[in-house]
Amino acid sequence: MTTENTVPPTFVAVERRHYDDQAKETVGSPAYYADFVNDLETGFLRTAYAKWKGEVSKLQPVENGPLTLLDYGTGQGHHAITAQKLHPSAKVIGVDISPGSLRVARQMAEQVIDGNRPDFLEGNAHELPFADATFDAVLDFGTLSSLNFDKATSEILRVLKPGGTFIGIETFGHNPLTNLKRQWNRVRGSRTQWATDNILNAAKLKQLNQRFHRFESHPFALTTLLAGGLKLRNQTLLSRLETWDGKIFQSPVWKMRAFKMVMVGKK
């Protein structure tokens, strides 16, 4: 079992191969992007996604000049493209270790966006190829669990400008049922061992709170997990479950059982 304080020598090769294999048969088409976003906007994680997207939409440059955004661990580029759509004049860069995923991202951006498009760069998220204080915001969508937490947060803070914003959404690791599902995903090959072992937890949230000048976290998805497991898309049912979750999460004990956390930090 790996730990958050060490990175195996084979880490880069294993992670790159895993995500390259996932992207091998994928074509970055407009339909692929639309289906991906629709799943997020109408599925059981719709409120978590709306919160993440809402925070991204509010971003402003720290100083004069265009808004600069880094999609950290961009994968196949969906979220970098969404950020560019929200901020058409921004300079958006997506960085990822997987050239196969980046191929899909570039294909998709060329067909989905007219005008200013994100740049997609191959790079190691533990050692970002950017100078200090480069970005107004760093966006994370499930990437931290695939990385050494200490190295990742240090790099995020390094490349953020003073006053810059970190916006992340991550699976939270204190729900025994979703932890079992995660182990099953590892067996099936849809998750790597590293991502299974290094999920976000309360101790890491505490570290983020200490490292950022201001930090907040918002829990999402508990009763809505039932709708997700059954692949239900009834919007009325989801609304009722979301209302129940909002009441349940008023208890700190039940907040710990949330499936997702949306995080906003200010450097």
Q: Tens-of-pLDDT digits for all 267 residues of the chain?
A: 334 456 777 788 888 998 999 999 999 999 999 999 999 999 999 999 999 999 999 999 999 889 999 999 999 999 999 999 999 999 999 999 999 999 999 999 999 999 999 999 999 999 999 999 999 999 999 999 889 999 999 999 999 999 999 999 999 988 877 777 677 767 777 677 766 778 899 999 999 999 999 999 999 999 998 888 777 788 999 999 999 999 999 999 999 999 999 999 999
Which two tokens mark 195? 């991502």
Residue with tokens 């983020």: 208
Total domain count, the chain:
1
State the burial class of residue 114 (Cβ atoms within 10 Å of its Cβ: 0-12, 13-18, 19+). exposed
CA–CA separation, 21 and 189 (whole Å)? 10
Cβ–Cβ under 8 Å, residues 167 and 140 = yes
4 occurs within a structural domain: no
43 occurs within a structural domain: yes
1 occurs within a structural domain: no
2 occurs within a structural domain: no
Residue with tokens 């060490």: 6
254 occurs within a structural domain: yes
Q: Where are the beta strands (DSSP E) in the chain?
A: 68-72, 91-96, 119-122, 135-141, 160-171, 214-220, 260-266
66 occurs within a structural domain: yes
5 occurs within a structural domain: no
Of 174, 149, 168, 179, give the one whose Cα is nearest residue 252. 174
Domain around 82:
11-266
**End-to-end distance of the chain based on CA atoms, in angstroms?**
32
CATH of the domain at 231: 3.40.50.150
Residue with tokens 């799943």: 39
CA–CA separation, 170 and 201 (whole Å)? 10
188 occurs within a structural domain: yes
